[in-house]
Each structure stands twice: as C-alpha cells, then as structure tokens.
Amino acid sequence: MAVPSYATRGERIWHYVFLGLCGLIFLFLIGPLLIIIPLSFNAEPYFTFSDAMLRLDPAGYSLRWYEDFFTSSAWLNSIKNSFIIGIASTVLATVLGTIAALGLSNRHMPARGAIMALLISPMIVPLIISAAAMFFFFSKIHLAQTYLGVILAHTALGIPFVVITVTATLSSFDTTLIRAAHSLGANPTRTFFKVVLPLVTPGVVSGALFAFITSFDEVVVVLFISGPEQRTMPIQMWSGIREQISPTILAVATMLVILSMLLLTTLELLRRRSERLRGMTPG
C-alpha cells in the first residue's frame, strides 16, 4: 500500500501514522501470546520477569515448570483424556458433517436454509447454555459423567465447522470436472476417488482440524457434564487459574501456542494445495 505520487504532505504523515497505529494493534494481537513464552522459563514461581531474567542471566531461566508438567500424573492424564475425546469427536463430526455437506450442496436439497441454520446453531448458541441444557438432558439419559457423553457433546459443537468448510469447498467445486471424468470413461467410483476426493479433501481436513481444536479447547461443557474420570486439559488449566496460577500453566500455555502455530501452518499449506489443484495461482 504505497503512498500515491499525488499525495500531499499531510497525507504522507497520516499514512505513516496509520501504519504505526496498525503496528500497535498487531502488537496488541500477538504480544500477549509471545510474552508468556519467556515467562514460562522463569526460575522463580512468579508471573513476571525477574531481575535475573532481564539481565539474561542463565540462572534466571529454568525448565522446572516443564518438568513439573511432565512429571505430574494429573496433567498427563488430562492430556490423554483431551486427545481421546478430541479425536473421537473429530472423527464423528467429520464423517457426519461431510456426508451431510454432500447432501446440502445438492441444489435440490429441500429446506436448505432452515437446515443449514439448525446445523450451525451449536456454534451460535452460547456454550454455557449448551452446557446447561446438555447437563439436564444427558443426566436424564445417563450420559452425563461418561466419556461417551462428552464425546457426543463435543461432536455437536464441532459439526458446524465441518459443515461450513466442506460445503464451502463443494460450492466452489466445478461439477463439469465430474462430467469430464465420465466422458473420459471413468466410472462413478473412480471419479469419486480420483477427482472428487482430492479436491474436497482439503476442506474436510480443515473442517476436521477446526472440530478437533474446538474439542481440545472446550471447557464449559466439560465442566458441566464430565465426571472426575473425564478431566481434560482445559479443565485442569481452568481449576489451576481459579485457585492459584502456578507458572506450570504458562508452560502448558506455551506448548499450546506452539501447537496452534503448527495447526495454522497445516491449514495454510492445505489452502495453497487446494488452490493449486484448482488451477488458481497461490497467493
């Protein structure tokens, strides 16, 4: 966004002020995530930079909070739970959501708008309301305090993301490609696996990633419907923050920030791949 040559001096000044402003907003967005990374290596049990850390004295830094994490059975168990619940609900949400998206992208789909609104509602209804409602209902049908109950609840929460990303991919899907495949002699199965699937996969995978992160990060519903056995990592963090935040939580937070960076990179690669496959130039 270069300054046009006809810009006046005032406009040039404004332009740089604007860029400076944007820089500050970016700092606001990203700074907090970066600041906890060094803090998690604090040798002292505080939430702030010690003098030794500011002097860059190695003695001010330590891995003790990471050690704390990896030697605590409560934390490790909660990670295990988070992965079990996250993976199971992702698989369910992805399968159900993808099949439904195939139907939704059919232009003869009856009551499409209403159904779409319903499918997306778990994303819009505040979590605390879903949590309270599921608590009441799941208790009645004996699903509360079970793994299955938590998995089903997280599946419901993850579904909108799968439906949105897969229908978006399908709507930009060029149906002439299918006809082309047919006319070149491919049978429907072959067409599905060789043409449709490769083009749709990026949408499905990114929908699955969204569903996974939704479950992996979800506290409120688990707080209400889980029992002591289904303690997930967010629950462990939540109770830690509420009582007394130890820097162990910062170590966990740092690892989660790195995890989200990895997920983001994966998504970006998927996006590029899908654009390339469609013959668009990558940005």
User: Of 135, 182, 186, 192, which one interacts with another protein (CB under 8 A)?
Assistant: 135
Is residue 178 a contact residue for another protein (CB under 8 A)?
Answer: no
Q: How many residues bind another protein (CB under 8 A)?
A: 107
Is residue 29 a contact residue for another protein (CB under 8 A)?
Answer: yes
Contact stretch for another protein (CB under 8 A) within 58-66, 161-169, 180-188, 191-199: 161-169
Looking at residues 105 to 134 of the shown chain, list those that interact with another protein (rule: CB under 8 A).
Answer: 106, 108-110, 113, 115-122, 124-130, 132-134
Nearest-approach distance from CB 167 to another protein, in angstroms: 6
Q: Exposure string (b/e) for 250-278, b if CB count within 10 Å is 16 or more?
A: bbbbbebeeeeeebeeebeebeeebeeee
User: Helix, strand, or coil here: 39?
Assistant: helix
Nearest-approach distance from CB 89 to another protein, in angstroms: 11
Nearest-approach distance from CB 33 to another protein, in angstroms: 6
State which amino acid sits at residue 63. L
Are 45 and 247 in contact, with CB atoms under 8 Å apart? yes
Is residue 175 a contact residue for another protein (CB under 8 A)?
Answer: no
Nearest-approach distance from CB 177 to another protein, in angstroms: 19
How far is 219 from 42, CA to CA, in rounded Å? 27
Are 224 and 131 in contact, with CB atoms under 8 Å apart? yes
Nearest-approach distance from CB 55 to another protein, in angstroms: 13
Looking at residues 195 to 254 of the shown chain, list those that interact with another protein (rule: CB under 8 A).
Answer: 206, 210, 213, 216-217, 219-220, 224, 227-229, 234, 237-238, 241-245, 249-250, 252-253
Based on CB atoms, which residue is closest to another protein, 6 or 184?
6
Looking at residues 33 to 92 of the shown chain, list those that interact with another protein (rule: CB under 8 A).
Answer: 33, 35-36, 39, 46-49
Residue 25, phi then psi, degrees to nearest 5: -65, -40
**Is 33 buried (19+), middle (13-18) or exposed (0-12) by CB count in 10 A?**
middle
| Cβ contacts of 58-65, under 8 Å, gap ≥ 24 | 65/40, 65/41, 65/246, 65/247, 65/248, 65/250, 65/251
Based on CB atoms, which residue is closest to another protein, 185 or 228?
228
